């Protein structure tokens, strides 16, 4: 989105959220320049000229799409929540449940942004601080610890299961029961996996689209365990287990043979 939008003037702005349209009515968005698009953990920040930032959070079902003007959308117009258009690109947020405008001062003081742990994709990255925060979550299962954005920012439910499979760690093991080497291995794999999944498509050999963790060139072999409950483990052949866990009852997948 940064490559597509940054440096271009906004020619069109729409939203179904009254809080956004009220700001747009009082301080027009059309005519502003998109200065940058960046991520803070799972928060997407679109900085506009005139000291205005659009913060969105996708939660479970939201997504941003980029289209050329006039191209048919892949989602119905009823799912549109925010639209930012330039002369060459239309960025559409579908089913995004969180969207607000912030000034730079409000952004600096925003409670959710300030509470984030170290971002896995940012440099410099403080691995020791992440491990310290992991250790502080006394008694919590490591799968839940990885989803806590106050501990480390960027890991979602799918990557949680994949990272722990690659690390060979049972997702229900309390984080405080793991060794320093275990935690360092988990964090290293997490950084590698997230970095690989934001790599431009032109720099990869795989034809698989969407999230992928196996590094297989086969487009049908994208995940190790996530969404594969009951199917054979790609490594040992044992049936993959899956169950809901945590406060939000998120699905966790793991191999009982490989993750001990």
pLDDT one digit per residue (tens) for the chain, 260 residues: 999 999 999 999 999 999 999 999 999 999 999 999 998 888 999 999 999 999 999 887 899 999 999 999 999 999 999 999 999 999 999 999 999 999 999 999 999 898 899 999 888 999 999 999 999 999 999 999 999 999 999 899 999 999 999 999 999 999 999 999 999 999 999 999 999 887 554 444 344 456 778 878 788 888 999 999 999 999 999 999 999 987 778 899 999 999 99
Q: What tokens were used for 148?
A: 């806590």
Q: Sheet with 80-85: list strands edge to edge.
A: 12-15, 80-85, 90-94, 63-67
Residue 44 CB contacts under 8 Å (≥ 6 apart), including other chains: 1, 37, 38, 55, 56, 57, 58, 64
Residue 56: which of 118, 113, 120, 119 has the closest Cα?
113
The superfamily (CATH) of domain 2-114 is MutM-like, N-terminal (3.20.190.10)
CATH class of 127-254: mainly alpha
pTM of the predicted protein model: 0.76
Q: What tokens were used for 106?
A: 């409000």
**Angle in degrees, CA 91, 92, 93, rounded to 5:** 125
Instruction: Report domain extents, the chain.
Output: 2-114, 127-254
Q: Which helix (H) or strand (E) holds 101?
A: strand 98-102
Q: What share of the chain is helix, strand, coil (3-state, %, to 5)?
A: 30, 25, 45
């Amino acid at each position: 989105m940064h490559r597509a939008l940054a440096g271009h003037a906004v020619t069109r702005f729409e939203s179904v959220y009254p809080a956004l349209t009220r700001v747009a009515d009082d301080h027009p968005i059309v005519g502003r320049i998109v200065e940058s698009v960046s991520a803070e953990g799972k928060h997407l920040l679109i900085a506009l000229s005139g000291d205005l930032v659009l913060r969105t959070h996708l939660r479970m079902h939201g997504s941003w799409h980029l289209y050329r003007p006039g191209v048919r959308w892949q989602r119905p117009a009823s799912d549109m929540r925010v639209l930012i258009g330039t002369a060459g690109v239309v960025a559409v947020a579908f089913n995004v449940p969180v969207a607000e405008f912030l000034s730079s001062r409000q952004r600096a003081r925003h409670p959710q942004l300030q509470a984030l742990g170290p971002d896995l994709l940012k440099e410099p990255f403080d691995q020791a601080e992440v491990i310290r925060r992991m250790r502080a979550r006394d008694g919590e299962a490591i799968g839940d610890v990885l989803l806590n954005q106050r501990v480390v920012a960027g890991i979602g439910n799918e990557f949680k299961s994949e990272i722990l499979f690659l690390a060979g760690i049972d997702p229900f093991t309390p984080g405080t029961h793991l060794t320093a080497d275990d935690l360092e291995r988990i964090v290293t794999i997490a950084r590698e996996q997230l970095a690989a999944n934001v790599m431009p498509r032109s720099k990869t050999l795989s034809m698989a689209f969407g999230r992928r963790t196996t590094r297989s060139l086969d487009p049908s072999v994208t995940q190790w365990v996530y969404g594969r409950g009951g199917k054979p483990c790609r490594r040992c052949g044992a049936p993959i287990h899956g169950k809901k866990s945590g406060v939000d009852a998120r699905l966790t997948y793991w191999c009982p043979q490989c993750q001990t």
